[in-house]
Structure 1
Amino acid sequence: MKNNTNLFRLLIRLLVVIIISTKIVSAQIISADALKKDVYFLASDSLNGRQTGSKGEQIASDYIIKQYKLLGLKPMGDNGTFLQAFEANVGIKYSGENYLSVNRAMLQADSDYYALNFSASGKAIGSLKNAGYGMNAPQIEVNDFEKASSDSGKIYLIETSSPDGESPHSKYYPYLDLQSKIQNAIKSGATAVLLINTHADAEDPSKNFTKYLTPVSIPVVFVKKTAYEKYFTGKKILIQLSVGLEKISITGHNVIAYKDNGAKTIVAIGAHYDHLGHNEFGGSLHKGEGNGIHNGADDNASGTAGVMALATALSNQKNANNNYLFINFSGEELGLIGSKYFAEHSTVDTNTLNYMINMDMIGRYNPEKGMEIGGLGTSPQYDFIRSMKDDSLKWKLGESGTGPTDFTSFYHINVPVLNFFTGVHEDYHKPTDDADKLNYKKEAEILQLELRIIDSLNSKGTLTFARTKESESTGAPTYKVKLGIIPDYMYEGVGLRVDGVDDGLVASKAGIQKGDIIIKVGDFTISDIHIYMKALGSITKGDTVIIIVKRGDEEKKLSANF
Structure 2
Amino acid sequence: MKFALTLNVLLLSFSISSAQDKSGIPAEARTASQSVKPEAIRAHMRFLADDAMEGRKPGTRGYRLAANYVISQFEALGLEPAGDQQTYLQKVPLRQWRVNEENSSLILIDKKGEKPLVLGKNYNLSPVYGSEKSEVTAPVVFVGFGVTAPDLNYDDYKNIDVKGKIVAYFNGAPAAFPSNQRAYHGSAKLENAAAHGAVGVISFSLPTDVRNRMESSATRARQGTYRWLDKDGKPQRVYPELKAVVSLGDSTARAVFAESGHSLADVIAAANKSIPQTFPLNFSVRVKTETRSGGDIAGYNVVGLLPGSDPVLKNEYVVYVSHLDHLGVGRPVKGDSIFNGAHDNASGVAINLEAARMYASLPQHPKRSILFVAVTAEEMGLLGSDYFASNPTVPQENIVANLCLDMPFFFHKLVDIVPYGSEHSSMAKEVNTVANYLGVKVAKDPIPEQVVFMRSDHFSFVRHGIPAIYIKSGTETGNPELDGLKLNLDWRATIYHSPQDEINQPFDFNAAARHAQLQFLIGYLTAQHPERPTWNPGDFFGNKFGRKPSGKGQTETGK
Q: TM-score, normalised by structure 2?
A: 0.56
After superposition, the Cα gap between the structure-2 partners of 1:395 and 1:89, relative to the gap in structure 1 and judged at 3 Å, is farther
Shift of 1:360: 1.3
Distance 2:43 2:87 in 1: 25
Distance 1:319 1:179 in 2: 42
Match of 2:396 among 343, 347, 350: 350
After superposition, the Cα gap between the structure-2 partners of 1:345 and 1:31, relative to the gap in structure 1 and judged at 3 Å, is same
**Structure 2: which amino acid aligns with 1:373?**
P
Shift of 1:66: 0.7
| Cα contact 1:376–1:398 (8 A) shared by 2 | no
Larger displacement relative to structure 2 (394-403 or 413-422): 394-403
After superposition, the Cα gap between the structure-2 partners of 1:293 and 1:314, relative to the gap in structure 1 and judged at 3 Å, is same
User: How do 1:20-35 and structure 2 match up within 5 A?
Assistant: 23=29, 26-27=32-33, 29-35=35-41
- Matched positions, count: 394
Distance 2:526 2:416 in 1: 23
Q: Which residue of 1 aligns with 2:532?
A: 463
Shift of 1:34: 1.1
Distance 2:349 2:140 in 1: 49
Structure 2 residue 144 is the aligned partner of structure 1 residue 121: no
Shift of 1:57: 1.2
Q: Which residue of 1 aligns with 2:259?
A: none
Q: Which residue of 2 aligns with 1:440?
A: 509
Shift of 1:326: 0.8
| Cα contact 2:91–2:298 (8 A) shared by 1 | yes
**Structure 2: which amino acid aligns with 1:406?**
D
**Structure 2: which amino acid aligns with 1:92?**
R
Which SS does the other structure have where 2:349 is aligned?
Answer: helix
Q: Which residue of 1 aligns with 2:80?
A: 74
Which SS does the other structure have where 1:65 is aligned?
Answer: helix
**Structure 1: which amino acid aligns with 2:303?**
I
| Cα contact 1:414–1:465 (8 A) shared by 2 | no
Distance 1:378 1:269 in 2: 18
User: How do 1:12-161 and structure 2 match up within 5 A?
Assistant: 23=29, 26-27=32-33, 29-94=35-100, 98=103, 116-119=125-128, 120-122=131-133
Distance 1:68 1:138 in 2: 50
Q: Which residue of 2 aligns with 1:269?
A: 320
Distance 1:338 1:358 in 2: 13
**Structure 2: which amino acid aligns with 1:453?**
I
Query: Identity across aligned pairs (percent)?
Result: 23
Q: Which residue of 1 aligns with 2:270?
A: none
Which SS does the other structure have where 2:454 is aligned?
Answer: coil
Which one has the largest radius of gyration?
1
Distance 1:185 1:441 in 2: 53
Q: Which residue of 1 aligns with 2:416?
A: 370
Distance 1:223 1:401 in 2: 24
Distance 1:331 1:322 in 2: 28
Structure 2 residue 300 is the aligned partner of structure 1 residue 253: yes
Shift of 1:25: 5.8
After superposition, the Cα gap between the structure-2 partners of 1:343 and 1:204, relative to the gap in structure 1 and judged at 3 Å, is closer
**Partner deviation per Cα, 1:257-276 (whole Å, 9 max, x = no partner):** 01113432222122111112
**Partner deviation per Cα, 1:200-235 (whole Å, 9 max, x = no partner):** xxx99976242366556768999999xxxxxxxxxx
Structure 2 residue 386 is the aligned partner of structure 1 residue 380: no
Q: Which residue of 2 aligns with 1:211?
A: 225
| Cα contact 1:98–1:109 (8 A) shared by 2 | no
Shift of 1:450: 3.3
Larger displacement relative to structure 2 (423-432 or 384-393): 384-393
After superposition, the Cα gap between the structure-2 partners of 1:278 and 1:215, relative to the gap in structure 1 and judged at 3 Å, is farther
**Structure 1: which amino acid aligns with 2:462?**
Y
Distance 1:254 1:370 in 2: 31
After superposition, the Cα gap between the structure-2 partners of 1:266 and 1:247, relative to the gap in structure 1 and judged at 3 Å, is same
Shift of 1:320: 2.2
Shift of 1:185: 12
| Cα contact 1:359–1:419 (8 A) shared by 2 | yes
Distance 2:157 2:527 in 1: 58
Shift of 1:307: 1.4
Distance 1:390 1:138 in 2: 45
Q: Which residue of 2 aligns with 1:405?
A: 456
Higher helix share: 2
Structure 2 residue 426 is the aligned partner of structure 1 residue 420: no
After superposition, the Cα gap between the structure-2 partners of 1:391 and 1:277, relative to the gap in structure 1 and judged at 3 Å, is same
Shift of 1:394: 2.8
RMSD of aligned residue pairs (Cα, Å): 5.2
Distance 2:472 2:94 in 1: 26
User: How do 1:524-543 and structure 2 match up within 5 A?
Assistant: none
Match of 1:308 among 348, 353, 365: 353
Q: Which residue of 1 aligns with 2:378?
A: 332
| Cα contact 1:134–1:144 (8 A) shared by 2 | no
**Structure 2: which amino acid aligns with 1:26?**
A
**Structure 2: which amino acid aligns with 1:347?**
T
Which SS does the other structure have where 2:337 is aligned?
Answer: coil
Distance 1:93 1:111 in 2: 11
Distance 1:430 1:351 in 2: 39
**Partner deviation per Cα, 1:267-310 (whole Å, 9 max, x = no partner):** 21221111122358xxxxx9x56772221111111110111111
After superposition, the Cα gap between the structure-2 partners of 1:215 and 1:351, relative to the gap in structure 1 and judged at 3 Å, is closer
User: How do 1:542-561 and structure 2 match up within 5 A?
Assistant: none
After superposition, the Cα gap between the structure-2 partners of 1:436 and 1:469, relative to the gap in structure 1 and judged at 3 Å, is farther
**Partner deviation per Cα, 1:481-501 (whole Å, 9 max, x = no partner):** xxxxxxxxxxxxxxxxxxxxx
| Cα contact 1:268–1:325 (8 A) shared by 2 | yes
Shift of 1:462: 2.2
Q: Which residue of 2 aligns with 1:341?
A: 387
Which SS does the other structure have where 1:88 is aligned?
Answer: strand
Distance 1:138 1:305 in 2: 45
**Partner deviation per Cα, 1:385-423 (whole Å, 9 max, x = no partner):** 435556875332469994311111222222222222126
Shift of 1:251: 2.5
Structure 2 residue 521 is the aligned partner of structure 1 residue 452: yes
Distance 1:186 1:470 in 2: 25
Larger displacement relative to structure 2 (208-217 or 262-271): 208-217
Which SS does the other structure have where 1:35 is aligned?
Answer: helix
Distance 2:519 2:194 in 1: 49
| Cα contact 1:266–1:324 (8 A) shared by 2 | yes
| Cα contact 1:376–1:382 (8 A) shared by 2 | yes
Structure 2 gaps of 5+ residues are 1-24, 108-115, 144-155, 175-188, 203-212, 227-237, 252-285, 446-450, 475-487, 544-559
After superposition, the Cα gap between the structure-2 partners of 1:50 and 1:456, relative to the gap in structure 1 and judged at 3 Å, is same
**Structure 2: which amino acid aligns with 1:431?**
P
Structure 1 gaps of 5+ residues are 1-18, 146-155, 162-167, 169-176, 188-192, 196-202, 226-239, 281-285, 474-562
| Cα contact 1:402–1:470 (8 A) shared by 2 | no
Distance 2:125 2:444 in 1: 38
| Cα contact 1:90–1:334 (8 A) shared by 2 | no
Shift of 1:354: 2.9
| Cα contact 1:402–1:411 (8 A) shared by 2 | no
Shift of 1:451: 3.1
After superposition, the Cα gap between the structure-2 partners of 1:299 and 1:319, relative to the gap in structure 1 and judged at 3 Å, is closer
Q: TM-score, normalised by structure 1?
A: 0.56
